[in-house]
Chains A and B, each alone.
Chain A
Amino acid sequence: MQIVVNGETHDVDVDQNMPLLWVLRDELGILGPKFGCGIAMCGACTVHIDGRPMRSCSLPIGVVSGEVTTIEGLGTPGALHAVQEAWVEHQVAQCGYCQSGQIMSAAALLARVPEPTDEDIDIAMNGNLCRCGTYPRIRAAIHAAAGKLREA
């Protein structure tokens, strides 16, 4: 079967039930999406499918029809997405392990709600666990990214 990840088409020959996360990580070597829980409870594996945030650990590859974007496709160290810029400026990451997922959820939120309230953030982001407790900076960085996107 074929999947499109970050604009590139890949042929993959795997069990239809294999979650997208493990196709990305172990078959395609796309390692930005992280494994945290496997049951859609932590958000570390969040990717976009046609722009919508999805937990790739709980999504069998057989049902993926849209285009997949991972953190690698959102922006790169040389060409950051506005959300990533805000993340760097606010020095959000600690261990960093949850942050791919946080950034993907935040980018999807801002694409839908350009000026999110704190409550919008609470609702969109509470599926993304951060055991390092970086929440105050995540919130600040989302507001800052919203400002950047408005100006852009």
Chain B
Amino acid sequence: MGKLKKIARRSFLIGSVAIAGGVAFGYWRYKTPYKNPLLDELAEGEAALTPYVRIDADGIGIIVPRAEMGQGVTTTLAALVAEELDVALEDINVEHGPASRAYYNAAALEEGLPGIAAATDEGWLARNARGFVHVPAKFLGMQITGGSSSVPDGYVKMRVAGAAARHALVAAAAERLGVDRESLRTEDGRVISADGSSLAYTELAAAAADVDLPDEPELKDPSEWRLLGRSQPRVDVLAKSTGTAEYAIDVTLPNMLFATVRMNPRLGGGMNGYDATRAESMPGVERIIPFEDGVAVVATNTWHAFQAAQAIDCDWGDAPYPATSAEMMEAVRNSFDRDYRDSRFRNDGDVETALIEADVVEAEYRAPFLAHATMEPMNAAAWYRDGRLDVWAGSQLPTQVYALAEEILGLDEKDVDVHVPYMGGGFGRRAEFDFIAQAILVAQAMEGTPIKLTWTREEDMTHDFYRPAAMARFRAAVADGMPVACDLELASLSVIASQMGRIGLPVPGPDVSIVQAAWDQPYSIPNYRVTGYRTPAMLPVSSWRSVGASQNGFFHECMLDEIAHAAGADPLEMRVQLMNHEPSREVLRAVAEMADWGAPLPEGHGRGVAFVMSFGVPAAEIIEVADTGNGLRIVKVWAAVDVGIALDQRNLEAQVQSGVNFGLAAAMMGEVTVRDGEVEQTNFHNYNSIRINQAPPIEVRVLENGNHIRGIGEPGLPPAAPALVNAIFAATGDRIRELPLSKFVRFV
């Protein structure tokens, strides 16, 4: 092993190391307590490097440490490295990095820490608080894909890795040619000398490992960018247009068997007993494996496993929560009480006094439980043999698989390999690992034989970790066309408590997701208070695309629409007036211009506007609906967002459209209900989603006024529901305060 070279940055180290026949550049860590996936040969006590770039005689590889679940992150992260390295995207191999704690994600944790600072808060306290978050992220070593954080997290790291690699390759070329490095330039994977002769990076790789790296490799000025800031073809698009992209559900292993599970639909209720006599004699069935709260069937074909699982008689335990969703909603309602108070991050002025003697506008809103319903049902493959475990799973948190392997099989990290193929949707569901634990348990029982475990859609729909049900109440007072007081109370189950409970971590302090995208909005109202209440745990809940913003955007922005109506103000103009953050004001102005807000509309048409800042991204949307007499039609959606720096406009547009459609689907028809302790929705016939015939045209504009680069997987979603609800009010005069809308109106 050659000596290590490194560059220290404020919050991370980038370095290089020799590998067989070449060099790797990446995240560097001394005396790492964690396994390094690509440099297993390192002796104990030696430093280890987890690469972003690997160059050897065979070619150039860029390793992307975040999961591709549709958001296009593979392409954007690879482009960050390729830009500084001066290689074309089509000339490199882009690989998904193996699970490694060295690929920790600091940006994801910034949003999750309780009440530290609003994204718009640039005071020193806020900046320092955000800086400190790097410490626990490193400590936890969470390789997480979520929170719209991959691009912000990789924006500097990946470019520094590329620049460091370029520096070393140029230095190696200078030495080989006996010329000054200043006389050399790089292009398309080659170092080119003044006389026009050139050396390929692959030829220089071995020598580059010996080059000392500069303290601060110079990054290109954005004006010199050739890849970034332009739309790149997605590296996965060809595979995904030809049926050749491999998802976990496609993993094929020698002599593999196929499995499924049937778990207690009363979630967490356990199993008293089961009778598999009938199933055991069914065709193709190889093994029935009981778990604490269900059974797995192993068969020669997934369909045989499905059939046999249905034929098992299970005696399920009772649900550890109320029997119906109506009772759960009542519990949410009852948690508007001092005893359940969780947070009050905003408390400007004196709301109580301001509301005395005023004409008060008040209302109550509710949002239901929702399922993630990723297109690819939960599944994982596992193979336990010779004291080693391999797992293939679409996971947003692959490092967690090590903990599972240790818990279930007592295996050390070094004896576990986690492979992360493409994911058929994540939306937060794949940050959970119930299905992975099941695959490991089956692999354990079937030691020596590889298994692939696939859930039915019914299992998937009824065994989710749901978006929590939530309620809001507000009271407000207006004067002179503007709000003067606004008291917003929010109650819901706690996502963070539910999740942390599952990985055995305590929750220090309040759950910011209960009030996310409500307490931290860039509006100045003289008397403005936002209080969060935590409903005790019931149905298990989790992050659902945009997390708390998914319901709070709806609550906050319908509230502002009601206030504007009461104040006789234009709802868009009123928001512009209330705003204290220029990039936010700009997205509202942009969307108003795109839609020609204020222009006369045809009879029966109405428009609604909403603005939500989430994950640091200000997002404004206008939706137009038409009352056709036969039902409502969504005519068009206009969306403007600000991501600070737009690396790939076309992919950003796709993500905003995706968020809008996901938000519309939920607002129009998404609802999970519970009866007798079981989720009633089982498949797409009773948990439907938006389809092409209802999906509106969505025009997107991406602005770059913010001063941080931000991710866009989620922020397009939260304004969709309130903009639609406000549009329905404008078109029909009906103010709907509960989702889904299909309970009250018909969509054509």
The reply to whether B658 and A134 form a contact with Cβ atoms under 8 Å apart is yes
Q: How far is the CB of B428 from chain A (nearest CB, A)?
A: 13
Q: How far is the CA of A32 from the CA of B233 in the complex (A)?
A: 22
CB–CB B303/A19 < 8 A: yes
Instruction: State whether A122 touches B685 (Cβ < 8 A).
Output: no
Whole-angstrom distance from the CB of A2 to the nearest CB of chain B?
Answer: 18
Instruction: Please indicate the chain A residues that have their CB under 8 angstroms from the CB of B692 in the complex.
Output: 121-122, 125-126, 128, 130, 135, 138-139
Q: Which of A33, A72, A132 contacts B658 (CB 8 A)?
A: A132
> What is the interface residue range for chain B against chain A?
35 or more
Does A123 sit within 8 A of B, measured CB to CB?
yes
Give B350 Cβ to nearest chain A Cβ, in Å.
44
Contacts A42-B375, A91-B237, A121-B692 given; does A37 touch B698 at CB 8 Å: no
Binary CB contact string for chain A from 90 to 120 against chain B (1 if under 8 A, 0 otherwise): 0111111111100100000000000000000
- Knowing A26-B258, A75-B242, A99-B241, the reply to whether A34 touches B683 (Cβ < 8 A) is no
A129 at the interface (CB under 8 A from B): yes
Contacts known (A14-B301, A135-B692); A96 close to B685, Cβ less than 8 A: no
Number of A-B pairs, beta carbon distance below 8 Å: 187
Within 8 A of B (CB), among A1-32: 14-15, 18-19, 22, 25-27, 29, 31-32
Q: Number of A interface residues, CB 8 Å?
A: 59
- B412 interfacial contact with A, CB 8 Å: no
- Which of A18, A70, A130, A135 makes the CB contact (< 8 A) with B375? A130
Does A88 make an interface contact (CB < 8 A)? yes
Say yes or no: B423 contacts A95, CB within 8 Å: yes
Which chain B residue lies CB-closest to A42? B684
Check A80 for interface membership: any CB of B closer than 8 A.
yes
Shortest Cβ gap from A97 to chain B (Å): 3
The chain B residue with its CB closest to the CB of A41 is B684
Min CB distance B661 to A, Å, is 3
Give A32 to B683 CA distance when docked, in angstroms.
Answer: 22
Contacting residues, chain A, for B69 (C-beta < 8 A)? 95
Residue with the highest number of chain A CB atoms closer than 10 Å, among B306, B422, B425: B425
A34→B377 CA distance, assembly (Å): 10
Interface string of B366-384 (1 = CB under 8 A from A): 0000000111110000000
When the two chains form their complex, are residues A31 and B243 in contact, meaning their CB atoms are under 8 A apart? yes
What residues of B have a CB within 8 angstroms of the CB of A88 in the complex?
Answer: 233, 237-238, 241
A126 touches B425 (CB 8 A): no
Residue B23, interface by CB 8 Å: no
Using Cβ atoms and an 8 Å threshold, which residues of chain A touch B661? 132-133, 135
The answer to the question of B691 belonging to the interface, with a C-beta cut-off of 8 Å to chain A, is yes
List chain A residues, Cβ under 8 A from B264.
none
- Complex interface bits, B62-74 against A, C-beta within 8 A gives 1, otherwise 0: 0000000111100
A93 touching B695, Cβ below 8 Å: no
Pick from A41, A95, A135: contact of B425, CB below 8 A.
Answer: A95
CB-based contact A91/B684 at 8 Å: no
Residue of B nearest to A70 (CB): B243
Q: Determine which of B242, B258, B689 lies in contact with A129 in the assembled complex, contact meaning CB atoms within 8 Å.
A: B689
Instruction: Name the residue on A nearest B654 (C-beta).
Output: A94
CB <8 Å contact, B377 and A39 = no
**Contact between B654 and A38 (Cβ–Cβ < 8 Å)?**
no
Instruction: State whether A96 touches B424 (Cβ < 8 A).
Output: yes
Among B245, B662, B690, the one with the most A-chain Cβ atoms within 10 Å of its Cβ is B245
Contact present for A93 and B236 (CB under 8 Å): yes
Which of B238, B243, B283, B422 meets A100, CB within 8 Å? Answer: B243
| Residue B599 at the chain A interface, CB threshold 8 Å | no
| Cβ–Cβ contact A35 & B454, under 8 A | yes
- The residue in A25, A38, A88, A91 that gathers the most chain B C-beta atoms within 10 A of its C-beta is A91
User: A19 vs B117: C-alpha distance in the bound complex, in angstroms?
Assistant: 54
CB B544 to nearest CB in A, in angstroms, measures 12
Say yes or no: is B252 at the interface (Cβ < 8 Å to chain A): yes
A77 and B302 in contact, given A36-B376, A95-B424, A96-B236 (Cβ under 8 angstroms): no
B53 at interface (Cβ–Cβ under 8 A)?
A: no
Whether A133 lies near B695 (C-beta < 8 A) is yes
Complex Cα–Cα for A37 and B240 (A): 20
A146 CB within 8 Å of chain B: no
Name the B residues within 8 Å of A91 (CB-CB).
Answer: 233-234, 237, 650-651, 654
**Are B377 and A36 touching (Cβ within 8 A)?**
yes
Knowing A31-B250, A135-B692, A137-B654 are in contact, say whether A38-B457 is a contact too (CB < 8 A). yes
Whether the pair B689, A93 counts as a contact (CB closer than 8 A) is no
Residues of B close to A94: CB separation below 8 A: 70-72, 654-655, 658
Shortest CB distance B189–A (Å): 22
Residue of B233, B236, B241, B691 touching A103 (CB-CB under 8 A)? B241
Query: B410 to chain A: closest CB distance in Å?
Result: 32
Q: Is the CB of A77 within 8 A of B238?
A: yes
Partner of B373, one of A93, A126, A131: A131
Contact with A along B220-259 (1 / 0, CB 8 A): 0000000000000110111111111111011010000010
CB closest residue in chain A, given B257 = A26
Complex Cα distance A18/B302, Å? Answer: 10
What CA separation (Å) do A70 and B243 show in the bound complex? 9
| Cβ–Cβ contact B242 & A80, under 8 A | yes
A33, B249: Cα distance in complex, Å: 11
Residue of A nearest to B372 (CB): A131
- Chain A residue nearest to B234 (CB atoms) is A91
A152, B248: Cα distance in complex, Å? 37
Q: Which residues of the partner chain A approach B375 to less than 8 Å between Cβ atoms?
A: 34, 36, 42, 44, 95, 97-98, 129-132
B242 touches A84 (CB 8 A): yes
Pick from A31, A95, A138, A139 the residue with the most CB of B within 10 Å.
A95
Asked if A15 meets B283 with Cβ closer than 8 Å, knowing A41-B684, A123-B693, A133-B660, the reply is yes
Chain B residues with CB under 8 Å of A97's CB are 247, 374-376, 424-425
Are A92 and B373 in contact, with the CB atoms below 8 A? no
- Also in contact, A129 and B691, with CB within 8 A (given A88-B238, A95-B70): yes
The 0/1 profile, CB within 8 Å of A marked 1, for residues 689-707 of chain B is: 1111101011000000000
Q: How many whole Å from A28's CB to the nearest CB in chain B?
A: 11
The smallest beta-carbon distance between A24 and chain B, in angstroms, is: 11
**Cβ B683 vs Cβ A41 within 8 A:** yes
Kindly supply a per-residue 1/0 record for chain B positions 418-441, scoring 1 wherever the CB is within 8 Å of any chain A CB and 0 otherwise: 000011111100000000000000
Are A80 and B241 interface neighbours, CB within 8 A?
Answer: yes
Q: Give A20 to B438 CA distance when docked, in angstroms.
A: 27
Q: Measured between alpha carbons, how far is A32 from B457 in the docked complex, in Å?
A: 18
Task: Closest A residue to B685 by CB, please name it.
Answer: A41
**Which of A19, A22, A25, A71 is the one whose CB lies under 8 Å from B242?**
A71
Contact B374 A131 (CB under 8 A): yes
Provide a sorted-by-A list of 28 A–B residue pairs whose CB atoms are within 8 angstroms: A15-B283, A18-B304, A25-B302, A32-B242, A34-B247, A34-B424, A36-B375, A36-B377, A36-B684, A37-B684, A39-B457, A42-B684, A44-B375, A70-B243, A72-B244, A76-B242, A91-B650, A95-B374, A95-B426, A96-B240, A97-B424, A98-B375, A121-B692, A129-B691, A131-B689, A132-B662, A134-B654, A135-B690
A interface residues (Cβ-Cβ under 8 A, vs B): 14-15, 18-19, 22, 25-27, 29, 31-39, 41-42, 44, 70-72, 75-77, 80, 84, 87-88, 91-100, 103, 121-123, 125-126, 128-139
- Smallest CB-CB A-B distances: 8 pairs: A32-B243, A133-B661, A97-B424, A96-B240, A95-B70, A94-B70, A71-B243, A93-B240
Known: A22-B303, A99-B240, A135-B695. 18 other contacts (CB 8 A): A14-B301, A35-B302, A44-B375, A72-B244, A77-B244, A88-B237, A91-B237, A91-B654, A94-B70, A96-B241, A125-B693, A131-B373, A131-B425, A132-B375, A135-B692, A136-B657, A138-B692, A139-B692
